[in-house]
Structure 1
Amino acid sequence: MKRLVLIDGSSYLYRAFHALPPLTSADGEPTGALFGVVNMLRATLKEKPDYIAFVVDAPGKTFRDDLDEQYKAHRPPMPDDLRSQVQPMCDIVHALGIDIIRIDGVEADDVIGTLAVQAADAGIDVTISTSDKDFAQLVRAGSDDNGARAGIALVNTMSGSRLDDDAGVVDKYGVRADQIVDYLALMGDKVDNIPGVDKCGPKTAAKWLAEYDSLDGVIANADRITGKIGENLRAVLDRLPLNRTLTTIKLDVDVGRVPTELVLRDQHVDELRALYTRYGFKQALRDLDSGQGSAVTEAASDTGSVRNTAAGYARSPVAVANEPDPALAAPGEYEGVMTREQLAAWVAKLQAADEFALDTETDSLDAMRANLVGLSFAIEPGFACYIPVGHDYPGAPAQLPREAVLDALRPLLEDPDKRKIGQHGKYEMHVLRRHGVRMRGYSDDTMLESFVHNATASRHDMDSLALRYLGYQTTKYVDVAGKGAKQITFNQVAVDDAVKYGAEDADITLRLHRVLSAKLAAEPALEQVYRDIEIPLVPVLERIEANGVLVDADELRRQSADLGKRMLAAQQKATGLAGRTFNLDSPKQVCALLFEELKLPALVKTPKGQPSANEEALEAIADLHELPRVILDYRGLAKLRSTYTDKLPQMINPDTGRVHTSYHQAGAATGRLASSDPNLQNIPIRTVDGRRIRTAFIAPEGRRIVACDYSQIELRIMAHLSGDEGLLRAFAAGDDIHRATAAEVFGKPIGEVSGNERRAAKAINFGLMYGMSAFGLAKQLDVSRGEAQDYIGLYFSRYPGVREFMDNTRQQARDRGYVETVFGRRLYLDNIDARNQGLRAGAERAAINAPMQGTAADIIKRAMIDIHGWLEAHADRALMILQVHDELVFEVDTGFVDTLLAEVGARMVAAAQLRVPLVVDSGVGANWDEAH
């Protein structure tokens, strides 16, 4: 029987783009998606189909857009790196001799469906090469032995899976092929923005269709379905028929040709050779020149590639940049170091290496309390060792003494000229310091390489990076330690399992460094951010975290008691106002009371359209009734108590008597540091109770707390970036910038500006930096939207450079897909061209704010590095103990305060050369609140 292969080109292009890393050719052209599609095509052609076509979506709207204007409305635009690969893909498909089909007004699915049914009805077996589950509605086996009605099968060439009959569809989805459309209609499709029945997943949809057979049957019996899911179903009954229409593949498209015309043409060998050469597809080029141009790779090439069959994609869905060395994706060879001879041999290897990767295994995630269980090292990809020193389960094999191992490694680990590579190496620094080793020479961190290269492209943990950049599935912690209540700590993990897991960590870290360092080297500005800011900051943060901050636990307990009393009073007051008891912590009970019993207007809704009881909702009605304000007050007190006054005393380290936060460099995409366990950056300072918490952060006897804070740094950066003469002039004169802005906006001398006018100007200054609209400004100032718009218009008329900067920044973001800080850090903005107005507006706000927030983050990081270097010679007299956004906090000997103020202030000011002066405000006190 003849066979037709219909390739869903759009599906594979997107799938390859997201599965493969951002590969590039020698000239820097993106090739990741192209590489995946080409290998899939070569695998398909090897099977020698009788007929073949490559079907892609045509640009523009389809009939589904006319049926539902929200259809696919939330889909972001095609990324530039993908868009640039579409034409090369078409060029290669054409050169391979395959017809490309695109039809206006319909989707590729409809073209494929039409051709598939036509061919099968004509006795031609059909294989649809796709990863799209929607096509399961077309699956059917041949009807008889005479070939009068051939079958339609689905094959996912990248994973090797196949569906060729109804039993296979039922096994995979739980419904028959003829029920797939109804199944999809019930569940909806987030990707295509088709809203289904809320909370109806695959199991529920399959259950309903098993009971009622079809969507019509489910609709007819909707009243019999109980519970919340039944309510959800009944709420969208009118929508479901449209869903069914949207998810039904059209089978009567005028394609303009019949299946038997889709024969494979002769290949354009010279054109293919030029294309394969241009994009660096070496194995494809070798096969072409050896006469096997349609054959998929039988073994990994000497420059790396995919696995040996099409199905190999299931095991290794990601390849590395430009067909890398196979060592970067192959299994490693790992050695457990159990004897002194093995240890000596590895020490010699490490001494001879220019650089090495290292990793530690411990019995805790808390670096300040973790005990060392083992160390791993790698000096070349694919070869690593694990040295167990603390596995103490019953029957554990004899291991080298921890101190003996550390003594042997100490000269290497403390050598500043021996380059070390890690993944989140700050943790290793803490662990080693606690065990008497101060690691120096930390030169590279794969987490930070990934973060600087593209902060939003991926998670930056090792498992995610290994999959994205190496195509390597790492051994997970749960694989060796179990999960849930039965999970064991690493000291209880069998040594043989620990060798594989621990050595792999060092090995993969080294492999990732080889890939990511090359990516950064190709972007000099980003490499400079990495080398000059992020890597030098690692030991600075390690030192700050280890220093910790002294906390007065008794003071916090007193505050907790006071907050508890006031919470009780608020609760009693709320009960009196409501006329009955209710749970102030229950949004459901609060909504019922406010909006059903008291009939207050529900001005803020949840995403599902229900009345909200969040802070914004209560603030919106706080002027209409006394109760919402009482609830807000209660919640504010409860949050302070649970988050800080109750929790902080429990987080005091018993060994140091201090609280040790953790700082995260790869957290916020703008480069701002984040803090956790505990988060000390979110303690409120605008309320008396919030400031009171800071009084519990104290200096020990003989010392003082010093706080140094950049003054209005983001506004100064705005002046620098915009070059606006009015802002530059105000900052150069040392004017109160908000008062100066008010004078400009309201057209009066600066000395005549009222308090309310200054407040309005401050709201405008900060609001515009964060993309605030006239609506938002009106709400903040409690004025009409028209009045707020007038304020903004006046502002831009007085500061035209700011408007020009904002317009130019938005345009640059659209053109390049990213914005930059003064120092070259990038923030990519995937939604800057989104069709959805909300997503696009959010990206535009980020485009304006990120250069300022990111530059401020870069400046204080540069200052911290410089100050840390100076403080090393004065470690006995002063400690840097906290970083909170634009503020640095120190613990200082009383007699050293003046020296520190002068040095720190000067170094913070010198951290950047802007068109306006940087100003640092400083304070000194017995506690953080006094110093702030």
Structure 2
Amino acid sequence: MSRLVLIDGSSYLYRAFHALPPLTNAHGEPTGALFGVVNMLRATLKERPAYVAFVVDAPGKTFRDDLYADYKANRPPMPDDLRPQIEPMCRIVEALGLSILRIPGVEADDVIGTLALQGHRDGLQVTISTGDKDFAQLVRPGIELVNTMTGSRMDSDAAVMEKFGVRADQIVDLLALMGDAVDNVPGVEKCGPKTAAKWLAEYQHLEGVMAAAPTMKGKIGENLRAALERLPLNRELVTIRTDVPLEVSAQTLPLREPDVPSLSELYLRYGFTQALKELGGPVPAPAAASDAPVSLRGTAAGYARATPDEAVVPVDPALSAPGEYEMVLTTEQLDAWVQRLADAELISFDTETDALDAMRANLVGISLAVEPGRAAYIPVGHDYPGAPAQLPREQVLAALRPALEDPAKKKLGQHGKYDLHVLRRHGVNVQGYHDDTMLESFVLNSTATRHDMDSLAMRYLGYTTIKFEEVAGKGAKQISFSQVGLDEACRYAAEDADVTLRLHHALQPQLRATPSLDSVYRDIEMPLVPVLTRIEANGVHIDMAELRRQSQDLGSRMLAAQQKATELAGRTFNLDSPKQLQAVLFDELQLPALVKTPKGQPSTNEEALEAIAEQHELPRVILEYRGLAKLRSTYTDKLPEMINQDTGRVHTSYQQSGAATGRLSSSDPNLQNIPIRTEDGRRIRRAFVAPPGRKILACDYSQIELRIMAHLSEDPGLVRAFEQGVDVHRATAAEVFSRSLEEVTSNERRAAKAINFGLMYGMSAFGLARNLGIDRGQAQDYVALYFSRYPGVRDFMERMRQQARDQGYVETLFGRRLYLNDINARNQGLRAGAERAAINAPMQGTAADIIKRAMVKVDDWLQEHSDRAKMILQVHDELVFETESSFLDTLRLKVVELMSSAAELRVPLVVDAGVGDNWDEAH
């Protein structure tokens, strides 16, 4: 992963000035601060980061001076011995190849904060080189602080917690409470870091501490109450801005080659002996002190694979033999492999990159195999010091492009969608992607093992692969793959292509032995790969202003919920602390503990709070608070950080092997879990918008799983309801409660809906009773009535249970299998769970198969109209499109037609279509 280093120049300068003795050069010029800065810069640059900026404060006022006239009013003027060192420091920084940034109106901290988050969104590993504690508020996975003077590192919440006693997201509130004497920001009197951390541990954030102020005892409580009015301003003053409008970006700050003549002249003048030696220049008399470089232990994360699952005897012992791997470093070697590709029937390929995000990753190398046991690695981006010369990336891609883009030449990969993205972004549009070992394994048996390469190699080949950690290290010491030595990289990367080919030879015969599974793989899963690749690449526009408004609203309501909870409990407590919540609910309010943890303690999870929500208002307030907090942290605050700077869109990633039933899942961001049953959840969709001149079209299967239930069960009553196009829940209520359709009440329809969906998921009478708020006997009567009216459904459910017991699996309409390992388990709980899955999997899996078939058909038609419309999302039973307004009617009619014809059922497949400027309007 490429690295962006942001250097806090002011911190470097002042800390070096105060840490070192007052050194001078032969001309009597002060050099102490300059000496320290140069040493820290040399240490930072030893790792040759891809992008670097040296950020210093610009002269003049900033927006903080407008907020608070006394901001930094007590700062002394710059020391006389420091001032003359500024100009030579800047000359040295520029000669080293670094960009110097001075942005008027904001502080260097804000520039660093903005670039740090921008670089993080772009997939860069970000290092902030500073000694300033304020930057701890920016720490998160991918953004670390390094104190070059001490060598210390802060790269996680745990590290921040160890240093300050609070999480990274609490640092701003910690500083607001403590104040900052250096910047003249007065905090709560007598409130030091320990007191502030203690308050935040108990009340989570500044609002919580402020809400608790009336109950605070003693002098510190008085001090807190006296400071309440200024605390919000404090927080604004100590918050590092991350949205400064900049004319530069991380990618415009590459580390340039050093200006050696200028550096030699500067080092010679100021007597920096060791630095001059490194340049190979003449060495003057010994300097006033030794300038040994300070260490910087910076690392970058790489693309790691999962650990293996279980070992079995390999299908073919020959497939577990050691391989022979070639590292391609010359044009002659490359030409020889190009010829092998031309002669091959199937090409196994894999890419190595510097990031997990395929939409941002840079290509580091390509591995190829055309026969088991023999493979090659072509490195193009290993950039560690002393790395051997490698063929230019463009030369390699140009040589491989004819074979990779030839649709008649079959390609093979392992989770190849990632590699398709990487190569597409580097100018190679792979065609003929024919096989994928991850999908072969998934279709063969979705529950037998994990489907990563390491697990599959162990299970199906008895082969132990080289792990990423073995070549790149682990944890804080893990390096980017671009920093891995070529010999180690070749063994690891070439093995990927080789083992993928071996796995294909082991898995393909097993799939072909079961035609129904081979059809699922060949007709559903493989055609879907390029479709998902296009959807992911298309991405979706996000309205950041809308999300900011929602975040503010959610924050205000969270605070109101906290205040309400305090009122109901009669005291302040931390709503996010299970221990404190247990004490309030079960000890003080004496509410019954209806749900227990595995250790026998009263649970405070959602189920537990729902169970007692009718007995007291507080559990309901806590549930409301949690729902708001989850929406804010997961979506309204998170989505803007995930916008790709190159495309201006959010790109989710779909997993075909994420759910055993075959349903697609999504991640980064997870769009499957946006709640739609609440107004707040639906509001999130308003931020998914169409660009000007275009519209959003959402097409959703109507009650598809119930329709599949009707088809599979062949129940006459259920089939008739769908054929007649009546409200199926109202029809069910009419059947169960012996009413005409017109006489069915809303409560009866609600009960029928709960039964319809509950039975599909194996809900018991107890679960139905709790869902409807009725007693268990009445719920049992409802179930009995339902089955008496729909006997075909009851017979289908029993048939699925028996099929699972007899053969160990159930199937979808198209032949996908779900193996149920616990169907004959002695443990009643495990067995009951397997029985519920046996009933649900055929319906949920068939629904998944249908929408996948629809996506392939729709995508095929869209290829002729890609300039006018694109598929941008798939969520559960819904497809979402972005289209020109003038093309909308054509698109809607065709998509509805194709989705409706994706399967032939005994009942109609109905598709609802909606249009809007955003996803919520269209849904």
Above 0.5 in TM-score? yes
In structure 2, give the amino acid aligned to 1:451. Answer: F
2: CA distance, partners of 1:560 / 1:572 = 18
Specify whether residues 521 and 663 from structure 1 end up closer, same or farther in structure 2 by C-alpha distance, changes over 3 A only: same
**Aligned match for 1:874, one of 852, 858, 865:** 865
2: CA distance, partners of 1:725 / 1:572 = 55
**Aligned match for 2:332, one of 341, 349, 354:** 341
Matched, 1:665 2:659: no
**1:426-454 CA distances to partner (integer Å, 9 max, x unpaired)?**
00100000001111100000000000000
Matched, 1:713 2:713: no
In structure 1, give the amino acid aligned to 2:313. Answer: A
1: CA distance, partners of 2:475 / 2:598 = 33
**Aligned match for 2:806, one of 802, 808, 815:** 815
Counterpart contact for 2:688–2:919, Cα < 8 Å: yes
> Equivalences for 1:98-497 in 2 at 5 Å?
318-321=312-315, 324-326=316-318, 328-497=319-488
**1:331-351 CA distances to partner (integer Å, 9 max, x unpaired)?**
100000000000000000010
CA shift for structure 1 position 486: 1.0
**1:441-495 CA distances to partner (integer Å, 9 max, x unpaired)?**
0000000000000000000000000001111110000011011111111111111
Matched, 1:630 2:624: no
> Structure 2: 5+ residue runs without aligned partners?
1-307
In structure 1, give the amino acid aligned to 2:757. Answer: F
**1:547-600 CA distances to partner (integer Å, 9 max, x unpaired)?**
001001111011101111111111111111112111000111100111011111
Aligned to 2:920: 929
CA shift for structure 1 position 317: 5.7
Secondary structure, counterpart of 1:695 in structure 2 = helix
1: CA distance, partners of 2:588 / 2:698 = 50
Aligned to 1:525: 516
Counterpart contact for 2:896–2:911, Cα < 8 Å: yes
**Aligned match for 2:837, one of 846, 868, 871:** 846
In structure 2, give the amino acid aligned to 1:527. Answer: D
Counterpart contact for 2:596–2:602, Cα < 8 Å: yes
**Aligned match for 1:696, one of 667, 670, 687:** 687
> Structure 1: 5+ residue runs without aligned partners?
1-313
1: CA distance, partners of 2:595 / 2:385 = 59
1: CA distance, partners of 2:588 / 2:769 = 31
Secondary structure, counterpart of 1:824 in structure 2 = coil
**1:513-567 CA distances to partner (integer Å, 9 max, x unpaired)?**
0000011011110000000000000000010000001001111011101111111
2: CA distance, partners of 1:706 / 1:439 = 29
> Equivalences for 1:893-932 in 2 at 5 Å?
893-932=884-923
Question: What TM-score results when the alignment is normalised by the length of structure 1?
Answer: 0.66
Counterpart contact for 1:318–1:472, Cα < 8 Å: no
Matched, 1:784 2:769: no
Counterpart contact for 2:317–2:461, Cα < 8 Å: no
> Equivalences for 1:727-876 in 2 at 5 Å?
727-876=718-867
Aligned to 1:683: 674
2: CA distance, partners of 1:751 / 1:621 = 36
Provide the aligned C-alpha RMSD in A: 1.0
2: CA distance, partners of 1:712 / 1:925 = 22
Counterpart contact for 1:430–1:542, Cα < 8 Å: yes
1: CA distance, partners of 2:721 / 2:623 = 39
2: CA distance, partners of 1:880 / 1:317 = 41
Aligned to 2:52: none
1: CA distance, partners of 2:546 / 2:777 = 49
**1:271-309 CA distances to partner (integer Å, 9 max, x unpaired)?**
xxxxxxxxxxxxxxxxxxxxxxxxxxxxxxxxxxxxxxx
Counterpart contact for 1:882–1:889, Cα < 8 Å: yes
Specify whether residues 567 and 317 from structure 1 end up closer, same or farther in structure 2 by C-alpha distance, changes over 3 A only: closer
Counterpart contact for 2:610–2:619, Cα < 8 Å: yes
**1:372-413 CA distances to partner (integer Å, 9 max, x unpaired)?**
000000011100000000111111110000011101111111
CA shift for structure 1 position 616: 1.1
1: CA distance, partners of 2:711 / 2:569 = 54
Aligned to 1:544: 535
CA shift for structure 1 position 784: 1.1
Aligned to 2:135: none
**Aligned match for 1:596, one of 587, 591, 595:** 587
Counterpart contact for 2:654–2:665, Cα < 8 Å: yes
2: CA distance, partners of 1:804 / 1:318 = 39
In structure 2, give the amino acid aligned to 1:697. Answer: F
Counterpart contact for 1:423–1:509, Cα < 8 Å: yes
Counterpart contact for 1:719–1:728, Cα < 8 Å: yes
Aligned to 1:229: none
2: CA distance, partners of 1:869 / 1:622 = 50
**1:843-886 CA distances to partner (integer Å, 9 max, x unpaired)?**
00000000000000000000000001011111110010000010
2: CA distance, partners of 1:334 / 1:398 = 19
Counterpart contact for 1:604–1:611, Cα < 8 Å: yes
Secondary structure, counterpart of 2:434 in structure 1 = strand
2: CA distance, partners of 1:522 / 1:334 = 32
Counterpart contact for 1:358–1:422, Cα < 8 Å: yes
Secondary structure, counterpart of 1:555 in structure 2 = helix
Matched, 1:644 2:640: no
**1:233-282 CA distances to partner (integer Å, 9 max, x unpaired)?**
xxxxxxxxxxxxxxxxxxxxxxxxxxxxxxxxxxxxxxxxxxxxxxxxxx
Aligned to 1:607: 598
2: CA distance, partners of 1:505 / 1:635 = 43
1: CA distance, partners of 2:311 / 2:736 = 58
Question: What TM-score results when the alignment is normalised by the length of structure 2?
Answer: 0.66
**Aligned match for 2:576, one of 558, 564, 585:** 585
Counterpart contact for 2:696–2:916, Cα < 8 Å: yes
2: CA distance, partners of 1:681 / 1:500 = 38
Aligned to 2:130: none
2: CA distance, partners of 1:566 / 1:518 = 58
Over the matched positions of the two proteins, sequence identity in percent amounts to: 75
CA shift for structure 1 position 325: 4.7
